[in-house]
Structure formats: C-alpha cells, structure tokens
C-alpha cells in the first residue's frame, strides 16, 4: 500500500481536531475572565453541590429528566420515518399518526397529573 492513500484520512483527522480545539482555544485566549461569587456558584442542579452526601432532594429533577429522555427518543424515531415517507406509503403515514396520537395522549396525561408543573 502506498502511504499517499492515507493522506485524506490524515487531513480529515487534522481538520476534525482543529474544528474541535480552535474555538475552545480562541474562547480561552480572547474571552473575558472575570469570575465572581455568582459565576462560581452551583447552577442548574437546585441544591448546593458540596453539602452532606445523604441529603434528600426533590424527585422532580428525575421526573423532568425522564420525561425529557422519553419525548426526545420518541422524536428521534420520527426522523427515519420522515426520510422514508415516500417509500412506506399511506400505511407508514397512518402508523406514524397513531404513534403521534399516543404521544399526545401521554403528554396530556402528564400535563393533567401536574408532572410538568414546578412549584
């Protein structure tokens, strides 16, 4: 084998690394660095990160995460369906409509039960 056959693969790897590293390096070098107490505080978790490991916290965090994963995965099933819509015909279309109907019923049930309400 000739090593010149590997040049496109090497270039692909180098460009991929460059696209991943260059924006981070530019942001680190050119971005402002003014930390304060608010920026260094914990966020998006709802409780202080460095407290007692056995403390109790609200189960709604898990509920929101599970609902997000559930609806996210169901939406991911729609992409292959949309790509193959012309080949699957009317049967596939109505199967997807039934699937979406079940999704809407589940979403309405969660909404009615108050699983999406944050007090």
Q: Which domain holds residue 69?
A: 58-119
Does residue 16 fall inside a structural domain?
no
Domain membership of residue 101 (yes or no) is yes
Asked whether residue 98 is assigned to any structural domain, the reply reads yes
- H or E segment to which residue 28 belongs: helix 7-30
Round the average pLDDT of the chain to a whole number and report it. 83
User: Is residue 5 in a domain?
Assistant: no
Rounded distance between C-alpha atoms, residue 105 and residue 110, angstroms: 9
Q: Is residue 109 in a domain?
A: yes
Question: What mean pLDDT comes out for the span 42-62?
Answer: 66
pLDDT at 52: 65
Asked whether residue 30 is assigned to any structural domain, the reply reads no
Mean of the pLDDT values across residues 107-115?
85
CATH number of the domain within which 75 lies = 1.20.58.1610
Instruction: Domain count for the chain, please give it.
Output: 1
Consecutive H or E run containing 95: helix 85-113
Better pLDDT: 50 or 79: 79
Structure tokens at 77: 């099933």
């Amino acid at each position: 084998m000739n090593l010149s056959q590997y040049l496109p693969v090497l270039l692909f790897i180098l460009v991929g690394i460059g696209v991943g590293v260059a924006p981070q390096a530019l942001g680190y070098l050119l971005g402002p660095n003014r930390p304060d107490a608010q920026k260094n505080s914990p966020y998006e978790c709802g409780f202080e990160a460095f407290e007692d490991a056995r403390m109790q916290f609200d189960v709604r965090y898990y509920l929101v995460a599970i609902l997000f994963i559930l609806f996210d995965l169901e939406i991911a099933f729609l992409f292959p369906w949309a790509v193959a819509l012309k080949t699957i015909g009317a049967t596939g279309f109505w199967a997807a409509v039934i699937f979406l109907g079940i999704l809407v019923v589940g979403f309405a049930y969660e909404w009615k039960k108050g699983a999406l309400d944050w007090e």
